């Protein structure tokens, strides 16, 4: 399953908030489905986005 940073570009949705929402929802879903075999990809456009996701996923 792949997620991209929707609306964080020209629409101006805050990158940090978008990443927090995406990571929180994916973690919640995986927690509710512990036997699911799923590869999750967070597709980012900018190095700044990648840094945000790396920080959130390392926590």
Range of the domain at 8: 2-58
* Residue 59, pLDDT score: 81
* Residue 1, pLDDT score: 83
Question: What are the angstrom distances between the C-alpha of 34 and each of 4, 31, 40, 44?
Answer: 23, 6, 14, 26
Question: Between these two residues, 2 and 28, which has the higher pLDDT value?
Answer: 28
Q: How many domains does the chain have?
A: 1
> Residue 36 — left, alpha, or beta (φ > 0 → left; ψ -120 to 50 → alpha)?
beta
Instruction: Tell me the mean pLDDT in the region 19-40.
Output: 93
pLDDT-derived band at 49, boundaries 50, 70, 90: very high
pTM of the model: 0.86
């Amino acid at each position: 399953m792949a997620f991209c940073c929707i609306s964080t570009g020209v629409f101006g949705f805050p990158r940090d908030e978008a990443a927090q929402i995406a990571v929180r929802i994916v973690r919640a879903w995986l927690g509710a489905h512990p036997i699911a075999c799923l590869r999750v990809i967070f597709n980012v456009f900018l190095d700044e986005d990648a840094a945000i996701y790396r920080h959130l996923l390392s926590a």
